[in-house]
Amino acid sequence: MPRSEPLKKSLDVEAVFQDRLTQVASDIEAQLDRLLGPGATEGELARPARLIDAMRYVALGGGKRFRPYLVVECASLFGVTREHALMAGAALECVHCYSLAHDDLPAMDDDDLRRGRPTAHKAFDEATAILAGDGLLTLAFDILSRLETHPEADVRLKLVMALARASGLGGMVGGQMLDLAAEGRFDAAPPKLGEQDVKTLQAMKTGALLRFGCVAGAILGQADAARWNALDRYGSVLGEAFQIADDLLDLEGDPAKVGKATGKDAAANKATLVGVLGAAAAKRRLDALVTEAERALAPFGGSADVLKAAARFVATRSA
């Protein structure tokens, strides 16, 4: 084989990953546009225009759509119909977008810019931003419970339970509570978090939703235990990597590219692995996590090459 072959192969895989991410982003935009469209859902008495406008503002027109990509890519390992994967992906993206709108509120991270645009409470007002988040969170479970998501009720129920747990007390919301508590805002002398505490906090606030994205593929694909566990492991490792990359972007990223303010975490006393380990060690950790993520996919052989590229993307992204 000529010496350039392995390099060419790896460039091809990165290109396939980018193409698929772009395709999912466009499909999810269309899907959310439809799900938040003008047609009333059965049982609806009225549709407050300001609320639907704010929900559309929060959910449409931006974001990498990496979580729905994970659902689609992981589900495709089992030959799941793309329409089903896109429904589950849309539900997950609704929870993610709601978490961003609430994360940006003055009472939380107090940010003015998100996805290169004014945050929801700046474009509307605080109460509307809160309600838009509430509306998207509940819509997520409406979507998962629909026949369109999967013909088998047992599969839909598993998706509902897994997303509820990833989103709530022991998942994203719980992690956000720990994140704010670590700033010291509820306690004059907050305990200094060590590496393990920060890992737990981040596995909850960020890891849980990314992990759900991977596990949702296994649920839709009715995977056996070995392949289910492999995706679960891949999702947890990817989640840890994702937040380290986010924290590095806060430190070193270009605000014009990331579409949100940078340089805020240290000033706000955020508990991050970059803060605990330093940037250089956090970058080494990120590299190790990519290797771990690739290894977790071993049971899938070559059919998971694009998911391996997805792990490399998480570590090297500039937005």
Residues that bind Mg ion (CB under 5 A): 103, 109, 246, 250
The stretch among 96-104, 124-132, 187-195, 301-309 that binds ligand IPE (CB under 6 A) is 96-104
294 part of the interface to ligand IPE, by CB under 6 A? no
**Residue 66, binding choice from ligand IPE, Mg ion, none, Cβ under 5 to 8 Å by partner class:** ligand IPE
**Residue 150, binding choice from Mg ion, ligand IPE, none, Cβ under 5 to 8 Å by partner class:** none
Residue with tokens 């009720």: 153
285 part of the interface to ligand IPE, by CB under 6 A? no
Name which of residues 227 to 266 contact ligand IPE (CB under 6 A): 243, 246, 260
Instruction: Report the alpha-carbon distance of residue 196 to residue 189 in Å, rounded.
Output: 20
The residue (of 155 and 258) whose beta carbon lies closer to ligand IPE is 258
Contact string 49-78 vs ligand IPE (x = CB under 6 A)? --------------xx-x------------
**Residue 100, binding choice from Mg ion, ligand IPE, none, Cβ under 5 to 8 Å by partner class:** ligand IPE
The site for ligand IPE, by CB under 6 A, has a size of: 15
User: Can you read off the two tokens belonging to residue 192?
Assistant: 């200094």
206 part of the interface to ligand IPE, by CB under 6 A? yes
119 part of the interface to ligand IPE, by CB under 6 A? no
Element holding 210 (H helix, E strand): helix 208-220
Instruction: Report the alpha-carbon distance of residue 238 to residue 91 in Å, rounded.
Output: 20
Across-strand partners of 117? Answer: 114
Cα 288-292-298 angle, rounded to 5 deg: 150
Measured between alpha carbons, how far is residue 226 from residues 74, 117, 190, 223 in Å? 14, 42, 41, 8
Please list the alpha-helical segments (H only) found in 2-152: 5-35, 49-59, 66-76, 82-103, 120-123, 126-145
DSSP 47-58: --HHHHHHHHHH
The residue (of 11 and 266) whose beta carbon lies closer to Mg ion is 266
Point out the residue whose Cβ comes nearest to Mg ion: 109
Cα 257-288-290 angle, rounded to 5 deg: 55
Q: Summarize as ranges the residues that interact with ligand IPE (CB under 6 A).
A: 63-64, 66, 99-100, 103, 109, 115, 172, 176, 205-206, 243, 246, 260
